[in-house]
């Protein structure tokens, strides 16, 4: 099929928020403990307990913010358990995730230290399911109050004089399910109540996020917008890509061809869900002031053999890379409404960027997509139109006098050539990268960490505003082109 895309270089009204590239790190399995936190006495190189190999890798993909401490864990988290001398902190049971002992060594101070090391913003998820209004109010006071107050004084006693900035705050998580099994009307009222006490101190301006729908629960969105719309800045949405039914998690490697496509098809539903939820939101918020915050997305596959099923540790292949690129493209197309997204999860859990084993760490194919896509962060989405083959997806943005073009061929058999007409583009200086593999379940292991990795790419022609890119099957390419 001849694919020619017309690129409208001067039509670029919508900004792709960098926050679409957000990460999610829950107290789940080895996501925080081992993945991020090794403790100050560890032999693994660390900065006040936070492992440095992980920090370095994450800085390279320019992580803009991290959502913490959950997930389901958030609605059981009592933040006061996680402050003060570590040896005195309460040891609790992580009831949602493998009944693991949670020693609370990673708490509020450690989280903000991680953010400092990454240069990232905070998205903290508060507890509505099993926490009180007072507890939430005090956490905000502890983190952000500058002067003298009981909670600010406690923070100072624990070694931190200055308040931190809390950019984003979630009022509960999945309150339709594990966060309290609430009806939307009830939760919407609770949302109004709790958020009243999430106050702005010290010129801090907190972006408040209400718990949004599960997948295609449109009534939830309708009720939330109707009852609580004016009190929120964002409404969350969760959708995971599955290769079969929810109850039947399919393997991350060694899967049949049909599951290559069923997983991708499930990921593509994201577009439909965003479109439909956004249409409901338009009724109450035509200005698109309230963001749709996709704060959990990614592939949910079977856990690796001999690992705790409650730890959600899965391998990550070139198929996950296809899904990362396709989903980020969807977010770009909806950037007027999708103001933030958080892939689940950052390390060792679900569709992770990094996997660790003791002192070893590997980058997953998904990591490389985030690396190749970082040029789109805070860039202007460039409009384009034209037909593509059913296996091709793409996105284009511009920033700092550079045009970033990312193209994906998620077919299994054929090479695809995609042509772009970019009138107004005179220069031809460019750089390119590709991520591809021969096997459909190609992945990295601790023995072979560079099996799937980004490489320089030159199989394209660019002359006088005409770009032609040839992609092998199972590949994603990013080109960065000088605009003048």
Rounded to a whole number of angstroms, the minimum distance from the CB of residue 75 to ligand AHR is: 9
Binding site for ligand AHR (CB under 6 A): 26, 70-72, 173-174, 296, 344-345, 350
One of 34, 138, 167, 296 is an active-site residue; which one? 296
Give whichever of 296 and 371 is closer to ligand AHR, judged by the CB atom. 296
* Smallest separation (angstroms) from ligand AHR to the CB of 128: 13
**In this structure, are strands 466-471 and 416-421 parallel, antiparallel, or unpaired?**
antiparallel
Instruction: Give the residue with the Cβ less far from ligand AHR, 127 or 436.
Output: 127
Upstream peptide bond of 69 is cis (omega within 30 degrees of 0): yes
| Cis check: omega of the bond before 406, within 30 degrees of 0 | no
Nearer to ligand AHR, 314 or 436 (CB): 314
Active site residue 296: yes
297, 302, 330, 328: which is closest to 316 by C-alpha? 302
Alpha helices in 61-149 (DSSP H): 108-118, 133-144
CB of residue 97 vs ligand AHR: minimum separation in angstroms? 8
User: Between residues 72 and 425, which has the closer beta carbon with respect to ligand AHR?
Assistant: 72
CB of 348 to ligand AHR, least distance (A): 12
Q: How far is the CB of 455 from ligand AHR (least distance, A)?
A: 31
Nearer to ligand AHR by C-beta: 145 or 331? Answer: 331
- Taking residue 287's Cβ as centre, other Cβ atoms within 10 Å add up to 6
Tell me how far apart the alpha carbons of residues 126 and 317 are, in angstroms, rounded to a whole number.
Answer: 33
Task: Kindly state the tokens that stand for 446.
Answer: 């601790």
Give me the catalytic one of 102, 174, 259, 416: 174
Q: Residue written as tokens 């624990």?
A: 158
CA angle 315, 344, 35 (to 5 degrees): 65
DSSP conformation letters of 18-84: GGGGEEE--SSTTTTBTTTB--TT-SS-EETTEEHHHHHHHHHTT--EEEES-SGGGGG--GGGGSS
- The smaller minimum CB distance to ligand AHR, of residues 77 and 373, is found at 77
CB atoms under 10 Å from CB of 159, counted, come to 9
Asked if 454 contacts 392 with a C-beta cutoff of 8 angstroms, the reply is: no
CA-based Rg of the chain, rounded to a whole angstrom? 22
DSSP 120: -
**Shortest gap between Cβ of 72 and ligand AHR (angstroms)?**
4
Nearer to ligand AHR, 74 or 476 (CB): 74
Q: Are 342 and 23 in contact (CB under 8 A)?
A: yes
Shortest distance, position 443 Cβ to ligand AHR, whole Å = 20
Question: For the chain, what is the total number of helices (H) and then of strands (E)?
Answer: 9, 25
Report the greatest alpha carbon distance in the chain: 68
* Cα(168)–Cα(122) distance, integer angstroms: 6
Hey, what are 10's tokens? Answer: 């001067």
Instruction: Find the shortest distance in angstroms from Cβ 22 to ligand AHR.
Output: 14
For residue 71, whether the previous peptide bond is cis, meaning omega lies within 30 degrees of 0, is yes
Looking at beta carbons only, is 49 or 71 nearer to ligand AHR?
A: 71
Q: Which residue is nearest to ligand AHR (CB)?
A: 71
Q: Is 390 a known active-site residue?
A: no
Catalytic residues: 174, 296
């Amino acid at each position: 099929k001849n694919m020619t895309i017309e690129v409208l270089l001067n039509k670029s009204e919508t900004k792709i928020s960098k926050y679409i590239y957000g990460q999610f790190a829950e107290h789940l399995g080895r996501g925080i403990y081992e993945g991020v936190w090794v403790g100050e006495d560890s032999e693994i190189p660390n900065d006040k307990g936070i492992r440095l190999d992980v920090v370095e890798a994450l800085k390279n993909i320019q992580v803009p913010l991290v959502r913490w401490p959950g997930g389901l864990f958030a609605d059981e988290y009592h933040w006061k358990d996680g402050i003060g001398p570590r040896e005195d902190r309460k040891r609790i049971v992580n009831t949602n995730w493998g009944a693991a002992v949670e020693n609370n060594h990673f708490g509020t101070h450690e989280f903000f230290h991680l953010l400092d090391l990454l240069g990232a913003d905070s998205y903290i998820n508060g507890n509505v399911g099993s926490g009180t209004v007072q507890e939430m109010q005090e956490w905000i006071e502890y983190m952000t109050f500058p002067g003298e107050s009981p909670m600010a004084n406690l923070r100072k006693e624990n070694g931190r004089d200055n308040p931190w900035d809390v950019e984003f705050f979630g009022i509960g998580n999945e309150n339709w399910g594990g966060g309290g099994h609430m009806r939307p009307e009830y939760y919407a009222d609770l949302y109004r109540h709790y958020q009243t006490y999430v106050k702005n101190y010290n010129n801090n301006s907190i972006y408040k996020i209400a718990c949004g729908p599960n997948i295609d629960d449109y009534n939830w969105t309708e009720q939330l917008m109707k009852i609580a719309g004016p009190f929120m800045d964002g409404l969350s949405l969760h959708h995971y890509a599955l290769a079969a039914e929810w109850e039947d998690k399919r393997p991350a490697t060694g899967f049949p061809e049909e599951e290559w496509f069923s997983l991708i098809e499930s990921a593509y539903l994201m577009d439909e869900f965003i479109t439909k939820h956004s249409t409901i939101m338009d009724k109450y918020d035509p200005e698109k002031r309230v963001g749709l915050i996709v704060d959990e997305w990614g592939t949910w596959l079977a856990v690796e053999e001999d690992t705790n099923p409650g730890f959600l540790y899965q391998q990550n292949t070139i198929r996950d890379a296809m899904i990362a690129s396709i989903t980020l493209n969807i977010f770009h197309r909806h950037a007027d409404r999708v103001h933030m997204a958080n892939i689940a999860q950052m390390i060792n859990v679900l569709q992770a960027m990094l996997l660790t084993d003791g002192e070893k760490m590997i980058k997953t194919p998904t990591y490389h997509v985030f690396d190749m896509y970082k040029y789109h962060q805070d860039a202007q989405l460039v409009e384009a139109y034209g037909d593509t083959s059913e296996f091709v997806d793409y996105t284009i943005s511009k920033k700092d006098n550079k045009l970033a073009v990312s193209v994906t061929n998620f077919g299994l058999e054929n090479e695809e050539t995609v042509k772009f007409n970019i009138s107004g583009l005179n220069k031809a200086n460019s750089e390119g990268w590709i991520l591809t593999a021969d096997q459909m379940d190609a992945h990295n292991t601790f023995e072979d960490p560079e099996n799937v990795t980004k490489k320089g790419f030159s199989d394209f022609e660019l002359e006088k505003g005409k770009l032609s890119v040839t992609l092998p099957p199972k590949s994603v390419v990013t080109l960065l082109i000088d605009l003048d």
